[in-house]
Structure 1
Amino acid sequence: MSLPTFGFSTTSDEVADALSSEIAGKNVLVTGTSQNGIGFETARAIAKYAGLVIITGYNSERLQLSADAICKEVPKANVRTVVLDLSSLAAVRKAAEEINAYSEPLHVLVHNAAHTSLVYSITVDDIESQMAVNHVSPFLLTKLLLPKLLASASPKWLPRVVVVSSESQGMGPGIDLSAVRKPAPGSAQETDVLLRYHEAKSAPVLTALGLAKRGAGKLRAYSLHPGTIFTNVQTKEAVVPALQAIGVLKEDGQPNLESAFKWKTIPQGAATTVVAAFDPRLNDKSGSFLEDCVEANEKRHAVNSDPANAEKLWKVTEEIIGEEFVV
């Protein structure tokens, strides 16, 4: 089958429709699915063809609104909701236990949820919150769901893990491996929220690289930059001044269309996630970083392209969660 060329302007529906035979019957979990976000859009587009779509969020009422909205648009959709608070490792374990009780295997795990408030805080597990939500908890969730992922393998399919990162992974010096759990008091990472966000979005890229290497022949892993998209994230109180300072937003808080950042719609932003989850042209590109629906490893920070860094981060994260993650 000849597939169309995807690019900057491609939408999630265009990708899902083109890859409908790949999506058909697959069971997919997408984290962070509040309406007006790319996780919701990803789940909605996939739900047209998937066997099961599991959506997660920390707020049960908002989560149900998302499920209702998907089912209203796609009446035949099979959607389940799981409350998942990524700021708590205990909550991650509880959610994983619920998912593992399902009879179905899991074909795709999409880590879309992110901590984006740019407010510095420490979680109940003594982990800086941006790193906890963007990296440590997804790492633990992947480990706990690994048997269910591997159970979906067949001669025609290897399970996929997709990590939604950000352009910010390339906008800094790379992750400080001595401060993954939390920055030192008074350090730049503690006072510069954008620097810590850069680190928290670099860590998942390295994890995808490490997972691809460790899981070769068993699963595939990808990370990606979805694009610059105006969602509910850009309206948060602490985020607005930070984005105004670098020219992303105008003084009135609206997108600066004259900046160097090229804006996408939410459907355009979710398209790369759907590509990463299902495009067979990526079968021999596990570990890759994607942008605009295609492989873009040249856009990945050099530090985040180094397998040695991926290995070091893997070991550090195992220490934080208190257990080994063997693929």
Structure 2
Amino acid sequence: MTGWNATRIPDQSGRTAVVTGANSGIGHVTARELARHGATVVLACRSAARGRAALNLLRGEVPGARAEFLELDLADLSSVREFARAFTRRHPALDLLVNNAGVMALPYGRTADGFETQFGVNHLGHFALTGLLLPRLLAAAPGARIVTVSSGFHVLGRAGAEGPFGSEEHDYRRWTAYGRSKTANLLFTHELARRLTAAGSPVTAAAAHPGYASTNLHAGAAALEGRSPLSRVLALGNAVLAQPAASGALPTLYAATAPGVPQDGFFGPRLGWRGAPVRSWRAGWTLDDMAGERLWAASEKSTGITYPPL
């Protein structure tokens, strides 16, 4: 793993990948590098205009790339279901699902289905998408993987028995809510990996985080903070500490393609915020089996998506 970079991605010819949030930043780099190494890549993006622009950009960066765009709004479960239907009409199997899209530190809001926005987009939308696409992943096994992008900021919030779906508006704290959604990403990966292992499935569930990468996610969070001290800190951090999106995507690409990635592996930059991908530290509560089971049950009930038998 030492010094691992995108040139070490194994040949992906014959494999099909879905990357959510592939219109910019880490998601676009992930899609581009998978396509560069031979995968057929589906760019799953909320905005049709930005998704098509990203597809055109990717085809310019990787001549001959096998890539397509499908619209996906993770804040609307009807859109998630439509995306899954469209994908299954086009593709008999799915080798790699990268749950990358996300929002960060937004003011209080709700998704189309009434969930707190950060939790609804970052966790529930991806939980539903994974469940709907799981039959195609099982059809592609062995070698199929599900990689969910979390964050070092998962330490800011837990998703446990006290209520996994976030605070109400009167006591909402945007960074705590973000941390809770990123904890949910890791708990979801942990519980999915546990279920896959128990079933003897060859599908692997892993997670990654980009460290401190300069992307639209951080820029948006800073803009929402206005002229607050945190806004100035984020702006300074982006200028001095942040690594480019191409480097921030490496842990995701490692989890998605490197040989020997274990069930429930979590990967991030060597120094925590930057550097080559290595196994990453994670809070103990993201490895809690009971919390994972509670989150899973609540997520199935809330989304109406029941996972097929493994």
TM-score (norm 1): 0.85
Is 1:56 matched with 2:44? Answer: yes
CA contact (8 A) 1:109 1:161 kept: yes
Residue 90 of structure 2 aligns to a residue in which SS?
coil
Is 1:306 matched with 2:288? Answer: yes
Q: How many Å apart are 1:311 and its aligned residue?
A: 1.1
CA contact (8 A) 1:96 1:145 kept: yes
Q: Which residue of 2 aligns with 1:160?
A: 145
Counterparts of 1:127 and 1:50 in 2: how far apart (Å)? 38
CA contact (8 A) 1:25 1:49 kept: no
Alignment of 1:110-189 (within 5 A): 110-116=98-104, 118-153=106-141, 157-172=142-157, 174-187=158-171
Q: Deviations over 1:98-122 (max 9, x none)?
A: 0011134110000000022512101
Counterparts of 2:57 and 2:168 in 1: how far apart (Å)? 43
Give the one of 269, 274, 292 matched to 2:248.
269
Counterparts of 1:265 and 1:69 in 2: how far apart (Å)? 18
| Distance change >3 Å, CA 51–CA 229, structure 1 → 2 | closer
Q: How many Å apart are 1:323 and its aligned residue?
A: 3.8
Q: Which residue of 2 aligns with 1:200?
A: 181
CA contact (8 A) 1:34 1:57 kept: yes
Q: Which residue of 2 aligns with 1:33?
A: 22
Q: Which residue of 1 aligns with 2:268?
A: 291
Name segments (4+ residues, structure 1) moved above 4 Å.
239-243
CA contact (8 A) 1:240 1:249 kept: no
Q: Which residue of 2 aligns with 1:95?
A: 83
Q: How many Å apart are 1:182 and its aligned residue?
A: 4.2
For structure 1, which segment, 231-240 or 204-213, has the greater mean C-alpha deviation from structure 2 after superposition?
231-240
Q: Which residue of 2 aligns with 1:71?
A: 59
Q: How many Å apart are 1:51 and its aligned residue?
A: 3.3
Residue 112 of structure 2 aligns to a residue in which SS?
coil
Q: How many Å apart are 1:241 and its aligned residue?
A: 5.4
Counterparts of 1:184 and 1:51 in 2: how far apart (Å)? 42
5+ residue gaps, structure 1: none
Counterparts of 1:148 and 1:231 in 2: how far apart (Å)? 31
CA contact (8 A) 2:110 2:116 kept: yes
Is 1:210 matched with 2:198? Answer: no
Q: Deviations over 1:172-217 (max 9, x none)?
A: 4x22444333423523xx1x10000000111011000111111123
CA contact (8 A) 2:160 2:295 kept: no
- Letter of the aligned partner of 1:195 in structure 2? T
| Distance change >3 Å, CA 278–CA 140, structure 1 → 2 | same
Counterparts of 2:95 and 2:36 in 1: how far apart (Å)? 16
For structure 1, which segment, 44-53 or 106-115, has the greater mean C-alpha deviation from structure 2 after superposition?
44-53
Give the one of 226, 234, 238 matched to 1:255.
238
Counterparts of 2:228 and 2:188 in 1: how far apart (Å)? 27
| Distance change >3 Å, CA 309–CA 246, structure 1 → 2 | farther
Residue 255 of structure 1 aligns to a residue in which SS?
helix
CA contact (8 A) 1:230 1:265 kept: yes
Residue 205 of structure 2 aligns to a residue in which SS?
strand
Is 1:230 matched with 2:209? Answer: no
CA contact (8 A) 1:169 1:199 kept: yes
| Distance change >3 Å, CA 146–CA 240, structure 1 → 2 | farther
| Distance change >3 Å, CA 214–CA 159, structure 1 → 2 | same
- Letter of the aligned partner of 1:91 in structure 2? S
Give aligned-pair identity as a percent.
29
5+ residue gaps, structure 2: 270-276
Residue 42 of structure 2 aligns to a residue in which SS?
strand
Residue 249 of structure 1 aligns to a residue in which SS?
helix
CA contact (8 A) 2:108 2:169 kept: no
Residue 50 of structure 1 aligns to a residue in which SS?
coil
- Letter of the aligned partner of 1:5 in structure 2? T
